Structures are given as structure tokens and as C-alpha cells.
Structure 1
């Protein structure tokens, strides 16, 4: 009896189409899942971005409305003005000269104070600069910076400041209101002599300036300068050479003693003051 023919079947080969189909299905499913997840993330990102942008627009608009509402409201108007740093000036007059009105907006002066500075600098020679601040919602604060005071000049109604910018202060002060450690300019009837002497005095070393009690305008010649010192000595010199000769002052003073006239005009020498000279210069 003949043998039956046996056909060998490879299970893997037979199942490979099915397995491949399943693998492709799984791969496609994963791709679809990834695409779906990516689309979900994209939609979520777009939604968040939209809400964020809307929040920024709404927030900005709200802030703009609040600022505009404040600007047009009475709260933005100048209600009170405070002047700081100008003790010798009348605050009321400073405010009046500044041109500030109750209907003005605070923020306008805070952002642009050029006109205010110009008004006050023209009116008051002692004012160097004014900075503006806002305090207590609707109070305007004017911080005044003045030029340094070099000395004082005696006038009919008191004493006025002599400033580092070469100008004279606008207010006459009482003796009790001035810095008595600074020298006095007395007897100056000509403005040119005052300006020349003030310019020279301001250029001298601080160590010498601090020893000066007063400068006298009763010089014999226009080019002459007379200084009365705190130690009772009197120094005279020529404006054109005084600055160069001042280096000899301390050495001459030691030899001269108290109540001497130290002459630095021509050469350099000293002699005792006469009684009439002491009286004329207010030395007791």
C-alpha cells in the first residue's frame, strides 16, 4: 500500500499574513492615538493661549480705564502744594510764582517740570533746581535746591545772600536768620566792585575764607580789596595779585600779632592798626 504524502506546513508562514495585518493594525492604532493626543494638546494649548491673550487685553483695558477715570476725576487735580528746602522763601509766594493752579493735573507736573523750573529760576536767583513729587494722592511736593551761600551783603532792610552763582538773594533776612559763620560784605555801593570782590573771594582757598569776618567796600581804589579777619587783623591787596600773594599770609600773621594791618598790595608787610582804623573796621 503506497504511503500517504504528508505536506509539511510552516505555522509561522501560514500565520504571517494575519500577524502582519495585526501588527499593521496596532501600528495604525498607535499612530491614530498619537495624532489624537497631539491634536488634543494643540487644542488645549490654543485654548490656554486664547484665554491668556484675552486676560492681557481685558487687564490692559481695565487699567487704561482706571487711569483715564482717575485723570479726569477731581482726585487728579492739585489740591495742596508743599514747598521743601527753601526755608528763607515764602512758600505762598513760591507757589504763586510757579504758576500752579488748583485745576491743574498732578501728573502733568510730575512728568514735565521744565516750565515750573523756568518760572521759579527767573523769579528767585537762589533757586538752582526744583524736583516734583506726588504725595497723599493729590498733594504736589516741590523739592527746592538752592545755590550755596558764600557770604551775606548788608542792605538797608537787613542782609541778603551772596550766592555761588554770583547773584544776590531775593530776600532780606534779619541778623538772627543768617549764618553768622559766613563773612559779610559791607559798604558796597557799586555793583561792579561787589561782583569782582565776590568772584575773587570765591576763588580763594577754603582755609583762608573761613578766617574772614567781613569784606569792606570802602576801598580807596577800584582794584583794592579789604578783608577784616576774625582774629582782628585787616588784610588789603590788589584784586589782580591777591590770590597769588595769599600764600604769605600765615607767615606774616605770626610775626605781626593781633590787630595788625597786613598789606599785600605792593610787596608784603605789616604794621599795627591805628585806633581810627580799628573803629572804622569795627574792631574792638
Structure 2
């Protein structure tokens, strides 16, 4: 029986075995070095940090001092201002008036010379509301400052459409139909005079009709008288600047005034043009005018 020959042992290369281990160790060392560099911080030297800390503290101190000084100066300046005459109203003026008297606007405003400017402008809405309530003639009021301590009252009036005569005093009538309580001894401007109107509603109706007329017709009318009766309470008589009179109904006055030039041409002198029902003209000598305004 033949015997087997023993197999030979495999040889191992030491370099191949050690090399992977060395590579592993090298990688681990590299990681440790990187981690050490990341975690490492150079200690700050006192000689470098102390000046920087001083500068920071100094800048904060300066900033706080500036803030405190600014507050104190503001308070002190404000207190000094309120003690000076510049904080008080020196003069009061009015602009925008055509009918209302400037002094009346100043008196009714409640603002007086010597009043505190700060108080006036703090309560300016109260002053304007009070003035508008006291003077219905005024539509808008604005309180402005001019110069250092002067006040100007900028007003806008309601349009005046005529005057109502009461006991010889001419009271302005506004476009709203309101009759101003204050008046003057004679009218101002080219506005008609409303006479003999005893009812406020009737006067307002006449004012509304007058406002609807053409501008050239309005300027031709000097007086409007109420001559209404039971048969026609809307009957009025117009006195024109050319010397003629026009009898008309308020409801149809605007439409029928277009016939006036033709009716006027029929007259050789002053007369009456009746537009109440039809349209005809008669001289004053033959007119039967039983109602003398």
C-alpha cells in the first residue's frame, strides 16, 4: 500500500500582513490630530484682552452719558421754552372773510393773546368746533401758526345769497337758507334783499329758486318780496335793477324768466311783468298792484 506524501506548508508574506495594520494606525492618528486641532484654542493673553475690555466699557459709558445728557437737555430746554414769551400767542389774524368781521371771528374763537401755543394746538379741534357753532356763517376753520408765536384763523364762509331785512337791519342769508343773527345797517355786495318773508320754509324755498337761476338773471334782481296769499302762497314780486317788477310763482319762476326779455321789450318805460299764470307786461300807470312791498 503506497503512502501519501505530506503536503507542504503555505508561506505568509510579513509585509502584506503588517501594511494594512500600519495604514489603519496612520488613519487613526490622522483623525486624532484633526480632532485635537479643532478642540485646541490658543489662550488669550491678558495683555491683549485688557485694552479691548477697557475700550468696550468706555464706549458704553460714553453712550450712556450722551443719552442722559440728551434727556436732561430736552427736559431743560422744554421747561425754559415754556417760561419764555415765545410759548405764548402774540397776535391773532383772520383770512378768508368777506361778510364776517375779523374781530368777531377772533372773539368767538375763544383764543386770546397770551394763551399757550401748546394748549391752543392741542385743543385746536375744540376751538374750531366752538367757532363753527357760534358763527353759522363759517363753513370751515383752520388754525395755523405763522412766524414764531402768531396765530392765523383761516376760514371759509358759506356763500351769501342775499339779505333779510328785520327792523332796518340787513341779516345775511346763506346758501343753506340760514339767516345770520348778526347784521349790518346796509347790505354788502350785489345780493338781493328778501323782504316780507314770515315763514322760514318759504324763505328757504325762495333762496333755493334764486340759486337755480342763471348768473346774469341773479345780478338783475335787487329785491325779492313775499306777496303770497291764500290763493297762491308761493307768489313773489321781484324788483329788478332796470326799474321793472316781475310777479311770479316760485314753482315756475325759473322756467318763465326766459320770457322776461320779450316782455320787457313791450314796455316803453318801467312796468310790471306778470309771469304768474301767463306772460304779459303792463306799464306802472295801468298796473293794478294792490300789494305794495
Calculate the TM-score normalised by the size of structure 2.
Answer: 0.65
Does the 8 A contact of 1:228 with 1:281 survive in 2?
no
Aligned counterpart in structure 2 of residue 203 of structure 1, from 209, 212, 220: 212
Q: Distance in 2 between matches of 1:279 and 1:159?
A: 26
Q: 2:266 aligns with which of 213, 235, 255?
A: 255
- In the TM superposition, what is the alpha-carbon distance from 1:246 to its structure 2 partner? 1.9
- Secondary structure of 2:172 counterpart: strand
What is the deviation of 1:183?
1.4
Question: Residues of 2 paired with 1:96 and 1:82: CA distance?
Answer: 11
Q: Deviations over 1:176-208 (max 9, x none)?
A: xx2253211122222222111111111111111
Against the structure 1 CA distance between its residues 242 and 129, is the aligned structure 2 distance closer, same or farther, given a 3 Å change threshold?
Answer: same
Residue 152 (str. 1) matches residue 163 (str. 2): yes
Q: Distance in 2 between matches of 1:122 and 1:207?
A: 34
Instruction: Determine if contact 2:100/2:137 at 8 Å carries over to the other structure.
Output: no
User: In 1, Cα distance between the equivalents of 2:135 and 2:81?
Assistant: 34
Query: Could you tell me which residue of structure 2 aligns to residue 99 of structure 1?
Result: 110
Q: Higher Cα Rg: structure 1 or 2?
A: 2
Matches within 5 A, 1:227-242: 227-242=238-253
How big is the shift at 1:150?
A: 1.3
Which 5+ residue runs of structure 1 have no aligned equivalent? 1-50
Out of 267, 282, 285, which is 1:271 matched to?
282
Do structure 1's residue 186 and structure 2's residue 186 form an aligned pair? no
Give the secondary structure class of the aligned counterpart of 1:210. helix
Who is 2:144 aligned against? 133
Q: Are the aligned partners of 1:126 and 1:170 in contact in 2 as well (CA < 8 Å)?
A: no
- Match of 1:179, SS? coil
Partner Cα distance (1:174, 1:146) in 2: 20
Q: What RMSD in Å do the two structures reach over aligned CA positions?
A: 3.6
- Relative distance call for 1:80 and 1:183 in structure 2 (3 A) is same
For residues 68-79 of structure 1, the aligned pairs below 5 Å read 69-70=80-81, 74-79=85-90
8 Å Cα contact 1:157-1:172 kept in structure 2: no
Which is further off, 99-108 or 239-248?
Answer: 99-108
Please say which of residues 118-127 and 139-148 is displaced more in the overlay: 139-148
Give 1:234 deviation, angstroms: 1.2
Question: How many residue pairs align between the two structures?
Answer: 233
Q: Distance in 2 between the 1:119 and 1:203 partners?
A: 32
Q: Distance in 2 between matches of 1:112 and 1:150?
A: 33
1:8-87 aligned at under 5 Å gives the runs 66=77, 69-70=80-81, 74-86=85-97
Instruction: Label 1:241 to 1:274 Cα distance change in 2 as closer, same or farther (>3 A).
Output: same
The superposition leaves residues 220-273 of structure 1 with CA deviations (integer Å, 9 ceiling, x where unpaired) of 331212111111111122222222222222222223343222122212222222
Tell me by how many angstroms 1:162 deviates: 1.2
